[in-house]
Amino acid sequence: MVLDTIVNKIKEYDTIIIHRHVRPDPDAYGSQVGLAKIIQHSFPYKNVYTVGDEDPSLSFLAIMDQIKEETYRNALVIVCDTANQARISDDRFSFGKELIKIDHHPNVDTYGDVSWVNTEASSTSEMIYELFLHGKSMGLKCNDEAASLLYSGIVGDTGRFLFPSSTEKTFRYASDLVTYNFNRTELYEQMYNTKQNIARLKGYILQNFEISEAGVSSVKITKDKLKEFQITASETSSLVGVLGDIDGIRAWAIFVEEEELIRVRLRSKGPVINEVAAKYNGGGHPLASGATIYNWAEMQQLIADLEQVCLDYRV
């Protein structure tokens, strides 16, 4: 099966380079670096590298390696948590000898010589722990550092075990992971530490969201607002969940204006929204997606499409 193949490939190669998606989140870092730590701990003589754009807000989890192009020669490349090739951070990913994809997003782009995609998994970090369990008898070993990273990834992608993607398996793996020695309190403090300007933008979103009859909520954050709150467009990603608890909201969209485009973050409590996302240059999970539009007129169309999805859901 595919898990055997992946473990055997890991054993076969002396150099392994691990990538993940652009604009990383804790699951991207957690699965990427967690896997690297497992491989390094199991096979200390191997050269294992993690690459991609550095995100200062996640540097408490890991710092990326800087490697030369020639390192890719005869290397095994593994990409974690990334649905399509365009989203892979560091486009040298194709320079290796073989490529493996490990992911939990809908399989829109089946890249790689070996591909393991499980959309039922809460996170790619959960899949990496499963890979470890499977590979234990084949020589894989986990340590505290790996456990801490995988745990962060699971916590991040499940919204602290709140989202419906948290399964019995998620909890089982999490309960295994917390038996390792790492400081959970410190980890949570780092993951959920909120900067003051972000807290104020959160207040703005809560004051200014709109809501329709069918339960579609939307908020528009213009370039001027970002400037006023001194926030970068990418920093708004942590705020997408704030409308989730509000009575009457079934699906919501946060529109963030960047230089050349408007980024849309979509969430839902039931109606499937990734098809709407796909219509607007995006995609993702059925209940959590992203899209891109190019003017505010398109925003109205997108909201109308969400409205339809919510109406259909009610019937």
Which residue do the tokens 């998606």 mark?
Answer: 21
Radius of gyration of the chain (CA): 20
Is 149 or 219 the residue whose CB approaches Mn ion more closely?
Answer: 149
Is 102 or 226 the residue whose CB approaches Mn ion more closely?
Answer: 102
φ/ψ of residue 77, rounded to 5: -110, 130
Is 125 or 236 the residue whose CB approaches Mn ion more closely?
Answer: 125
Q: Is 126 in the site for Mn ion (CB under 5 A)?
A: no
C-alpha dihedral, 281 to 283 to 288 to 291, nearest 10°: -10
| Residue choice 126, 145, 157, 307 for contact with Mn ion (CB under 5 A) | 157
Residue nearest to Mn ion (CB): 27
Residue 60's Cβ-count burial label (10 Å; 0-12, 13-18, 19+) is middle
User: CB of residue 57 vs Mn ion: minimum separation in angstroms?
Assistant: 16
Q: Is 81 in the site for Mn ion (CB under 5 A)?
A: yes
Is 158 or 268 the residue whose CB approaches Mn ion more closely?
Answer: 158
User: CB of residue 144 vs Mn ion: minimum separation in angstroms?
Assistant: 22
Binders of Mn ion among residues 245 to 274 (CB under 5 A) are none
Contact present, 300 and 293 (Cβ < 8 Å): no
CA 193 to CA 239: how far, in whole Å? Answer: 13
Stretch touching Mn ion by CB under 5 A, among 72-80, 120-128, 198-206, 216-224: 120-128
Q: How many residues does the chain have?
A: 315
User: CB of residue 133 vs Mn ion: minimum separation in angstroms?
Assistant: 19
Cα distances from 220 to residues 125, 207, 225, in angstroms, run: 32, 12, 9
Q: Is 103 in the site for Mn ion (CB under 5 A)?
A: no
Q: Is 27 in the site for Mn ion (CB under 5 A)?
A: yes
Q: For residue 143, which amino acid is it?
A: N
| Residues near Mn ion, by CB under 5 A | 27, 81, 123-124, 157
